[in-house]
Amino acid sequence: MERDADVVVVGAGIVGCATAYFLARRGARVVVVERGSVPGEQSRKNWGFVRQQGRDPVEMPLVMEAHRLWRGLPRELGADIEWIQGGNLALAADDRRMARFEAWLPVAREFGLATRLLRPRDLGAVVPGLAGDWVGGMHTPGDGHADPEKTTDAFARAAVAYGASLHLECAVQGVSTRAGAVSGVITEHGEIRTPTVVCAAGAWSARLARTLGLDLPQRWVRGTVARTTPVPAVSACAVWAPGVAFRQCRDGSFTIAAGGALDHDVTLDELLEKQGAVPLPRGAAAAGEPGGGAARLGGAPAAARVGPRSRAAAESREGATQPGRAPAPAAVAAAARDRAALGGLHRRRA
């Protein structure tokens, strides 16, 4: 293992590997350390959406630049990341959600996105065979999706090709300092001297920050993602409904998720930081979601922190929904609509 580097990146998910690639391409001596594999956690099992639609206006310049990079990544990385620019469709099951879509249209116009609202009869042109009692949708044809595992692996390989070093099965134990500045990273295989550390540890970032005496509030949420067997082509568009989200991969399989419904386990850290937390109303728009979907705590709304501390990004960890929990009535109704939608797709394939 190297004993010194210009930059040490902690975490070999898509954020860490992309960071290593762009730094190494500029000539920096980069070392990436990862306690597991590439990719091992959040970057291996997620939706794979590459979405401009529904973003906060403050995010839009960054999101649009990222989208420009995504379009050129297959060529730049020399890898098939299954980039498909098939659009993104957000569905509305009631007028309230549809009104939120309409309220976002000025943002789309400001940044030149070809986003438009669709009436129920127009939805089938985007996703043939779509069933369900939808009042409409919001469609952004320029959005896309990609395979998160293949993309992360491609970034890792490209970073190594530019001279970055990648150390797997190598857990970071802490960050060392000298005279008030970062001086190195302590791993289970020894210390790497460096003046710069990039924390790309995802859900484990708070624990790493704690070694520096920093308090990074995080909420661990758990979302389930499933993959089906291949079926005939239905649509290249990624779909986000109140209770389900799905995209069809290049091999015909579907990646299916719970459309913004998340499970949240209360931890000791959160109990210690409970002061200042307020309930998140059921059905309130979650951060980054185009109009709805609250995190659930055993079927009830989770707590949302207000004030500056709420700006820390919440990270999700993988896992399945815990058995034995009684779903909320709204979740049952959403699931019924979603089954109807997927049933319509199934009938079309038959």
Query: Is pLDDT larger for residue 321 or for residue 124?
Result: 124
Is cis: bond before 141, omega within 30 of 0?
Answer: no
The architecture CATH gives domain 88-145+220-349: 2-Layer Sandwich (3.30)
What is the location of CATH 3.30.9.10 in the chain? 88-145+220-349
Angstrom distances, CA of residue 332 to CA of 164, 242, 290: 48, 12, 21
Alpha carbons 183 and 194: distance in angstroms, whole number: 5
Give per-residue pLDDT as tens, 232-268. Answer: 999 999 999 988 999 999 999 999 988 777 788 777 7
In the chain, the percentage of residues whose pLDDT exceeds 70 is 77
Alpha carbons 260 and 174: distance in angstroms, whole number: 33
pLDDT band at 273 (very low <50, low <70, confident <90, very high): low
Contacts of 125 (CB under 8 A, 6+ apart): none
pLDDT band at 224 (very low <50, low <70, confident <90, very high): confident
pLDDT band at 275 (very low <50, low <70, confident <90, very high): low
Angstrom distances, CA of residue 309 to CA of 59, 122, 219, 274: 18, 42, 11, 12
Amino acid at site 209: A
In the chain, the percentage of residues whose pLDDT exceeds 90 is 63
pLDDT at 334: 45
Average pLDDT of the chain to the nearest whole number: 82
Query: Is pLDDT larger for residue 3 or for residue 282?
Result: 3
- 34-48, 95-109, 217-231 — which one is most confidently predicted on average? 95-109
pLDDT at 267: 74
pLDDT at 221: 82
Alpha carbons 92 and 139: distance in angstroms, whole number: 11
Amino acid at site 348: R
pLDDT at 225: 87
User: Is it the case that residue 333 has pLDDT exceeding 90?
Assistant: no
User: Is it the case that residue 86 has pLDDT exceeding 50?
Assistant: yes
Listed range (68-77, 119-128, 153-162, 219-228) with the worst mean pLDDT: 219-228
Alpha carbons 56 and 51: distance in angstroms, whole number: 12
Alpha carbons 147 and 14: distance in angstroms, whole number: 11
pLDDT at 329: 45
What is the location of CATH 3.50.50.60 in the chain? 7-48+148-210
Q: Map the chain to HEC letters.
A: CCCECCEEEECCCHHHHHHHHHHHHCCCCEEEECCCCCCCCCCCCCCCEECCCCCCCCCHHHHHHHHHHHHHHHHHHCCCCCCECCCEEEEECCHHHHHHHHHHHHHHHHCCCCCEEECHHHHHHHCCCCCCCCCEEEEECCCEECCHHHHHHHHHHHHHHCCCEEECCCCEEEEEEECCEEEEEEECCEEEECCCEEECCHHHHHHHHHCCCCCCCCCCEECCEEECCCCCCCCCCEEECCCCEEEECCCCCEEEECCCCCEECCCHHHHHCCCCEEECCCCCCCCCCCCCCCCEECCEECEEECCHHHHCCCCEECCCCCCCCCCCHHHHHHHHHHHHHHHHHHHHHC
Does the domain spanning 7-48+148-210 belong to CATH 3.50.50.60?
yes
φ, ψ of residue 271 to 5 degrees: the values are -65, -35
